[in-house]
Amino acid sequence: MLPEKDPKRQGEKDPKEDPSVALFREYLRIKTVQPEPDYDTAIKFLERIASELSLQCQKVEVCPGRVITILTWKGTNPQLRSILLNSHTDVVPVFEEYWDHDPFSAFKDAEGNIYARGAQDMKCVSIQYIEAIRRLKAEGRHFPRTIHMSFVPDEEIGGHKGMEMFVKRPEFATLNVGFALDEGLANPTDTFTVFYGEKCPWWIKVKVEGNPGHGSRFIENTAAEKMHRVITSFLEFREREKQRLKSEKHLTLGDVTSLNLTMLNGGISFNVVPSEMSAAFDIRIPPTVDLKAFEEQLTAWCRAAGEGVTYEFHQKYMDQSVTSTEESDPWWKAFSGTCRDMNMKLKCEIFPAATDSRYIRAAGHPAIGFSPMNHTPVLLHDHNEFLNEQVFLRGIDIYAHLIPALASVLPLQAEA
């Protein structure tokens, strides 16, 4: 049973609470949880913010019920390529029985920890963008490059009805994106993690056919025998990659191929040997891996298992674009230089899963995954997800420095 709910859940204002924190908690209470996210309320919330900050607000319906909301702060030289600050509005499901507080009450404890689904992934970043721009506008600042904030749906289920479709639309092209920021991960140390690329997600279903019969007999070439060989090949590879990650200390999860058996199906009765079985695998492949050679390996494993073994892709992402982290790159120089000026320690990695950044990079635009959360355990998709309010407020300060630096990058050669 959950403890008594936060009395401020209904939107009561605490006069002592920082207004940015209050806004963050208000956004967390909007139940944009999959599989039925309340996108309409989120859009109304963003429209209100646009009005408060005198920002242009554009809504692009990429498919029925799936709207991209873009808030725009026009630059003094709008012909220059823009800065895109991207975030997603949906959050993953919860198992409330495992939470100490209602996951949609945005409960804040005595230490300032705010518990809610989306506290880390990634409603914090959305509000940090907004509050940084609120601060910069209040200071009377202006920048050469236009700044867009995009709020997209369905990232948590692959972005197929969100950013993946949006980057192909003319409305995205008119944003004239030069550089994008998107989500990253928390870091439990004093370091901030920065992601310059992502793994390619491959979802594969292997189907095997074999001889059926009565469960009392030793039947040859059964589907189960072939499936055993398939699973053994796949999971032995998984173990090799797991051991490589453990033994080579310089590697991170983003540097190795992860593979997991996620579904296993087959059979109709205890006493019937089935003629068909299937297994689903979630594979995440780093950009250093030759994708053609890796698929040839998958084919070889299935061929070695016997006749009647085939596979099909339910997701096959092939773009391996990465963003430059060379100091000669003007975007990275502006980002990393600003962080150094703020005495922030950065660690560059390949993102171990997948975000909407992959669609932005595939469209030809450099993108960095970054959520300014250090001294914070990684709790996205976990029970009791939380973010401390001081970490959240520090993130606003960080964006209030990063946004001016990026929006003031001198015209590039391609823009001359």
Q: Are 285 and 354 a contacting pair, CB within 8 Å? A: no
171 annotated as belonging to a binding site for a ligand: no
DSSP structure string for 313-382:
EEEE----------TTSHHHHHHHHHHHHTT-EEEEEEESS--THHHHHHTT--EEE----BS----TTS
111 annotated as belonging to a binding site for a ligand: no
Residue 104's H or E segment, with its range, is none
Does residue 382 have an active-site annotation?
Answer: no
Q: Are 368 and 323 a contacting pair, CB within 8 Å? A: yes
Which of helix, strand or coil describes residue 196?
Answer: strand
183 annotated as belonging to a binding site for a ligand: yes
121 annotated as belonging to a binding site for a ligand: yes
Going by their DSSP bridges, the two strands 345-351 and 191-198 should be labelled as parallel
Q: Are 338 and 368 a contacting pair, CB within 8 Å? A: no
Amino acid (one-letter) located at 157: I
What is the rounded distance in angstroms from the CA atom of residue 18 to the CA atom of residue 15?
Answer: 8
385 annotated as belonging to a binding site for a ligand: no
Identified catalytic residue from 102, 131, 154, 155: 155
Does residue 14 have an active-site annotation?
Answer: no
Q: Which residues contact 340 (CB under 8 A, 6 or more apart)?
A: none
Residue ranges at the known binding site for Zn(2+) = 88, 121, 156, 183, 381
Residue ranges at the known binding site = 88, 121, 156, 183, 381
User: What residues are annotated to the active site?
Assistant: 90, 155
